[in-house]
Amino acid sequence: MLLRCGANIVEINAIRKRLSQVKGGKFAQLVLSAARGIRNYPGVVIVSVGTDGTDGPTDSAGGIVDGQTAIMLEEAGIDINDALDDNDSYHALQAVDSLIKTGPTGTNVNDLIFMLCGRDV
């Protein structure tokens, strides 16, 4: 998918590296990290959700980012690297309305990651 989106090998490896570092329920961390790799790719969207957001320390089940998210974070005065280093993807994504909050769903078996690429990418 990344190749079809026009990503070069450096960009692909950067995203793969970030994805392989994510463990367990750090779905918001994953998308925040991915936001850097898809910066300025307006036709790319990454969604990562796990469980229903009621078994972790927050009410978030994950997040959604696109090619403009990194820019929006900068405009809000948020440094992605600092947020990742502080393990505070929640507040960063919250600032740009990119958290996914499902509320109780009655299930606890979902771990889903989607990457969508527009035809014009």
What is the rounded average pLDDT of the residues 21-30?
Answer: 67
Full set of structural domains in the chain with CATH: 9-117 (3.40.1480.10)
Sign of CA dihedral 91, 93, 94, 100: negative
pLDDT tens-digit map of 63-114: 999 999 999 999 999 999 999 988 889 999 999 999 988 877 776 666 788 8
Predicted confidence at residue 25, as pLDDT, reads: 43
Q: Cα-Cα-Cα-Cα dihedral of 47, 52, 58, 62, to 10°?
A: 0
Each residue's pLDDT tens digit, 27-69: 888 899 999 989 988 889 999 887 655 656 677 888 999 999 9
What is the reported pTM? 0.74
How far apart are the two ends of the chain, measured CA to CA in Å?
11
Q: In the prediction, which pLDDT does 8 show?
A: 82
